[in-house]
């Protein structure tokens, strides 16, 4: 019975592995746009990978509850959770960034011959996530918040990009297939994960509305933006999360 929570945590890794399979088996098509350029069509399997990352996030959210339910919290469970997180929210999103960079270069006349070195910046994302997880595991802090953006949050932002692109909401493909924008996303998310800034935890620990007000505002914004903007709500809510965390940093000490 004590191993049930650990086996449940492994579902996180299983979904991350399935996401990687979908992301790698792109099956993309290239339609001739004119004599010297190509128009890439986003394949179905990449956004299926995003959905598997979402399932991994649900498991990651519930595994602590399962451990408490079976009264089986352990150091092994903590380490297993971090290892699974690295796969599901580090490696899998890193591969999404790699594939999106590749598709962005495919729009250029010589895009098929893109040098590997131009795509390798995507590896910064899983490396930053690994650093963030390792630091978390050796830090015994009871503070109300996180040092650095949690890797699941950053991973979900990346996972939302193929879904936004697949449905091409608000003509977002122009931005999401821009290599400079993708480089910027990689650098910013990586820096946020390894930073020493304090970020808000979404656990409702206070017994007063005032104490939970930032979290209530963020939750309400998430619901409203999801109804109005669908998948585009994910990065926008993430930006709001950063802004709220920065403006309420005194409460996170």
- 191 to 71, 93, 131, 197: CA distances (angstroms): 36, 16, 11, 10
User: Would you say 200 and 145 are in contact if contact means Cβ atoms under 8 Å apart?
Assistant: yes
- Give me 235's structure tokens: 């990065």
pLDDT at res. 180: 95
pLDDT tens for the 253 residues of the chain, in order: 667 778 888 999 999 999 999 998 866 555 545 555 555 555 557 889 999 999 999 998 888 778 777 776 777 878 888 999 999 999 999 999 999 998 888 877 776 777 888 999 999 999 999 999 999 888 756 566 788 999 999 999 999 999 998 887 778 888 888 999 999 999 999 999 999 888 888 766 556 666 678 888 888 989 999 888 889 999 999 999 999 888 876 545 4
Measured between alpha carbons, how far is 64 from 35 in angstroms, rounded to an integer? 56
Which helix (H) or strand (E) segment holds residue 234: the answer is helix 233-247
3-state secondary structure at position 218: helix
Measured between alpha carbons, how far is 116 from 123 in angstroms, rounded to an integer? 12
Contacts of 233 (CB under 8 A, 6+ apart): 222, 225, 226
User: Would you say 66 and 76 are in contact if contact means Cβ atoms under 8 Å apart?
Assistant: no
pLDDT at res. 12: 93
Spelled out in words, what is the top-level CATH class assigned to the domain 4-197? Answer: mainly alpha
Rounded to 10 deg, the angle between the 124-137 and 151-167 helix axes is: 150
Measured between alpha carbons, how far is 215 from 155 in angstroms, rounded to an integer? 20
Beta bridge partners of 147: 198
pTM (two decimals): 0.86
Q: According to DSSP H, which parts of 25-115 are helical?
A: 44-69, 75-86, 92-106
3-state DSSP helix/strand/coil % of the chain, to nearest 5: 75, 5, 20
pLDDT at res. 39: 53
Q: Strand 29-34 vs strand 37-41: parallel, antiparallel, or unpaired?
A: antiparallel
Measured between alpha carbons, how far is 20 from 45 in angstroms, rounded to an integer? 10
pLDDT at res. 76: 82
């Amino acid at each position: 019975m004590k191993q049930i929570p650990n086996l449940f945590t492994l579902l996180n890794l299983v979904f991350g592995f399935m996401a990687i399979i979908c992301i790698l088996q792109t099956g993309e098509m290239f339609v001739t746009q004119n004599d010297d350029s190509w128009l890439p069509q986003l394949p179905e399997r990449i956004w299926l990978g995003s959905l598997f990352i979402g399932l991994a996030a649900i498991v990651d959210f519930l595994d602590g509850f399962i451990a408490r339910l079976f009264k089986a919290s352990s150091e092994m469970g903590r380490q297993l959770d971090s290892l699974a997180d690295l796969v599901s929210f580090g490696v899998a999103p890193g591969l999404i960034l790699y594939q999106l960079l590749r598709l962005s270069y495919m729009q250029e006349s010589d895009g098929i011959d893109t040098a590997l070195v131009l795509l390798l910046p995507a590896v910064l994302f899983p490396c930053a996530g690994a650093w963030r997880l390792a630091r978390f595991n050796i830090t015994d802090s009871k503070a109300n918040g996180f040092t650095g953006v949690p890797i699941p949050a950053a991973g979900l932002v990346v996972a939302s990009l193929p879904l936004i692109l697949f449905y091409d909401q608000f003509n977002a493909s122009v931005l999401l297939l821009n290599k400079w924008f993708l480089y910027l996303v990689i650098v910013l998310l990586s820096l946020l994960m390894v930073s020493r800034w304090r970020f808000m935890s979404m656990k409702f620990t206070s017994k007063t509305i005032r104490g939970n007000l930032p979290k209530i505002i963020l939750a309400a914004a998430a619901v409203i933006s999801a109804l109005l903007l669908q998948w585009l709500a994910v990065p926008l809510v993430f930006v709001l999360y950063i802004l709220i965390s920065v403006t309420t940093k005194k409460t996170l000490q």
